[in-house]
Amino acid sequence: MAFKVVHYINQFFAQVGGEEMAHIAPELREGKVGPGVALEAAWKGEAAIAKTIVCGDSYFAEHEKEAKATILDWVKAEAPDLFIAGPAFNAGRYGYACATIAKAVKEELGIKVLTGMYEENPGADLKKDILIVATANNAAGMRQAAPKMAALALKLMKGEEIGASVVEGYMNQGIRVNFFEKERGAKRAVDMMIKKLNDEPFVTEYPMPTFDRVAPNPAIKDLSKATIALCTSGGIVPKGNPDHIESSSASHYGEYCIEGVLDLTPETYETAHGGYDPVYANADADRVLPVDIMREFEAKGIIGKLHNKYYATVGNGTAVANAKAFAAEYAQKLKADGVDAVIMTST
């Protein structure tokens, strides 16, 4: 029996129309439409597209919640062996829709998913969550993209082992997968050397992890006159989490006044962090944000004073770009408030 597939495409590839028709709400069609023809042909009877979902790109972008709900219902009812979206090539909103809906189908329905697009398409940001086949940057690449996607789709449906990204043609997910090259390592090294010597482009087989190292500022000369602030990615917030900082992948940070607070108690503070056992932080939040000790130092004159505001977010799974943006913003506030130094605590 052939595998059953549901295919997601946009208004353009369904030949409904271009930008002027991008507002259309999702519609469910029988069988294959547009690029589905090429996919089915490549499956040679081993899999067939039962339904095609067509959705306008603007509609998806502007009504993501509704579109998602409708599409998930349809896919759930169909219970396909695979949900395939696109390929979207370099169409930004289409790529975003393909990746987003594929991720939702995978995570909420537990159905295998696959999509395809150009590597610089914004939808490719989700390449670590779902398999995305790398395609050319325009629809002229359909002839290459369709068989690549079809072959990988069939492997997924058959439950076969998925090889390395360079072999199967999907975007690297940051997971190292072994495979056999055609040339031995030494030959590849010499070839790479020749390219490097000739200033030709080459691709390293293992991109080195990069660490963002910050050069320390000059030391504070006299702590006893300095204003010190506390900041944390450990999620310490006033009880009740008034700013609703997310327990993971935080979208914002909080600013809290600790004027006159000498000690963080279980009645007044807690952690919003979902990435560690909160018992000890909730019992005594000073363990993460040491207000008590800082007050003690302040009283003894070891430090000038503890700044009366602290900034907190949750570091758990939070995008580095977001974290950077938070800090860039509140660093200005700290500067404006005349803070000399910051103690940043993690968990």
Partner 1 sequence: MKLELGYIQIKDIQFSKECKVENGTLFIDPEVVKAFMYQDDDVKAWVKDFSFDIAKPGESVRITPVKDVIEPRVKVEGQGGQFPGVIAKVDTVGSGKTHVLRGMAVVTAGKIVGFQEGIIDMTGPGADYTYFSKLNNFVVVAEPVEGYQDHKHEYEHAVRIAGLRAAVCIGELGRNVTPDETQEFETFGIIEGAKKFPELPRVAYVHMLQSQGLLHDTYVYGVDAKRSLTTIINPTETMDGAILSGNCVSACDKNTTYHHQNNPVVAELFAQHGKKLNYVCNIITNENVYLADKQRSSDWTAKLCRLLDLDGAIVSQEGFGNPDTDLIMNTKKIELQGVKTTIITDEYAGQDGKSQSLADADPLADAVVTGGNANQNIILPPMDKVIGTLDYVDVIAGGHNGSLRPDGSIEAEIQVITGATNEMGFGLLSAR
Q: Which residues bind partner 1 (CB under 8 A)?
A: 164-166, 172, 174-190, 192-194, 196-197, 202, 204-211
Six token digits for residue 100: 């987003």
- Do the beta carbons of residue 7 and residue 51 sit within 8 Å? yes
Which is closer to partner 1, CB of 186 or CB of 336? 186
Q: Compute the least distance from the CB of residue 16 to partner 1, in Å.
A: 38
Peptide bond into 87 cis (omega under 30): yes
Indicate the pairing of strand 27-30 with strand 236-238. unpaired
Which is closer to partner 1, CB of 1 or CB of 175? 175
Which is closer to partner 1, CB of 1 or CB of 203? 203
Which is closer to partner 1, CB of 188 or CB of 287? 188
Q: Compute the least distance from the CB of residue 139 to partner 1, in Å.
A: 27
Which is closer to partner 1, CB of 168 or CB of 263? 168
- Do the beta carbons of residue 292 and residue 260 sit within 8 Å? no
- Do the beta carbons of residue 55 and residue 96 sit within 8 Å? no
How far apart CA 282 and CA 277 sit, in angstroms, is 9
Helix (H, G, I), strand (E, B) or coil at 92: helix
Q: Compute the least distance from the CB of residue 112 to partner 1, in Å.
A: 19
Q: Please tell me the total number of residues recorded for the chain in this structure.
A: 347
Q: Compute the least distance from the CB of residue 182 to partner 1, in Å.
A: 7
How far apart CA 345 and CA 229 sit, in angstroms, is 11
Q: Compute the least distance from the CB of residue 213 to partner 1, in Å.
A: 11
Q: Compute the least distance from the CB of residue 225 to partner 1, in Å.
A: 39
How far apart CA 125 and CA 118 sit, in angstroms, is 11
Which is closer to partner 1, CB of 120 or CB of 205? 205
Instruction: Taking each helix axis as running N to C, give the angle between helix 64-78 and helix 92-104, from 0 to 180 degrees, rounded to the nearest 10.
Output: 50
DSSP state of 28: E
Which is closer to partner 1, CB of 61 or CB of 177? 177
Q: Compute the least distance from the CB of residue 194 to partner 1, in Å.
A: 5
Burial class of residue 343, CB neighbours in 10 A (0-12, 13-18, 19+): middle
Residue type, 132: I
Six token digits for residue 68: 């998602």
